[in-house]
Amino acid sequence: MSEARLLAAGETIEAPVRRPARGSLRPLLLGFLLPVGAAILWEIAVRTGLAQGRLAPPPSKIAATLSELAANGDLWLHARATLARVAAGFALGVLAGALAGASRVARALLDPTLQGLRAIPSIAWAPLFILWLGIFETSKVALIAVGVALPIYLGTLGAILAVDRKIIEVGRSFRLSGFALARRILLPAVLPHYVIALRSGLGLGWMFVVAAEFMGASEGLGYLLVDAQQLGKPAQMIAAILVFAVLGKTTDALLVAAVAPFLRWQDTMANTEA
């Protein structure tokens, strides 16, 4: 019996239930395979004398350095300072990028200038920000915000311009307009691409915080890197880089988890069974 006949007979057709993907731990374990395997091999190479491990210390020495930094409180002090700078710069960058990308008037007014500024490496702003804002927190947050705002603006702009006009026409045929059209049609269409732009901006925020903390900082993971380089402590340098990696991955995972409830409607490969 065809679907039309079933509906005519008053019978209901249930939508297929999408089962959650199984084996969710498998990608996680595979992701750890390469770094853990490389660390084990390097530890064996240093312990057996195949490598010196002077400039690239073995994992055991890096772990001891991290433990020492955590015990004396330096690790938490520097990590908190870096997290605060990234959070402030990311928030300002998101606000600036979203406003410029979501408003048609703002796009027309700012797009030519922003497209020109996009060609300038964000790190080139560092000397100017120091001159204008000094070497304290304001210049560091401003540098991070510049690095974050441009990719978010471009992602938002691209997502808005890529919305299918037919979808908008369908919404208008159902007499949706104004806020209802934006909430029911535009926002679901734009949000997946906007999330990608946010993740890209967050990643750049972590990149630019290193440059920001090179600008005369007295605390932060970037300062910890500079201090280790000046004192010839490769284990501390690698430890700081590993903390950067862990914090960056953790904040990215938190961002993805925060927006996941708003993307449950998507029927994508990520939601299918492995």
pLDDT digits 0-9 by tens, 23-56: 467 777 787 888 889 999 999 999 998 888 888 8
Give every CB contact of residue 94 below 8 A, 6+ residues apart in sequence: 148, 149, 152, 198, 201
The more confident residue out of 232 and 123 is 232
CATH topology of domain 58-264: MetI-like fold (1.10.3720)
Checking if the pLDDT of 262 tops 90, the result is: no
Checking if the pLDDT of 62 tops 90, the result is: yes
Measured between alpha carbons, how far is residue 97 from residues 2, 29, 126, 206, 254 in Å? 50, 36, 20, 17, 20
For the chain, give the percent of residues with pLDDT over 70.
Answer: 86
Checking if the pLDDT of 93 tops 60, the result is: yes
**Domain ranges, ordered by start, for the chain:** 58-264
State how far the Cα of 174 lies from the Cα of 195, in Å rounded to an integer.
28
pTM of the predicted structure, to 2 decimals: 0.78
The more confident residue out of 197 and 187 is 197
State how far the Cα of 30 lies from the Cα of 4, in Å rounded to an integer.
47
pLDDT band per the 50, 70, 90 thresholds, residue 5: very low
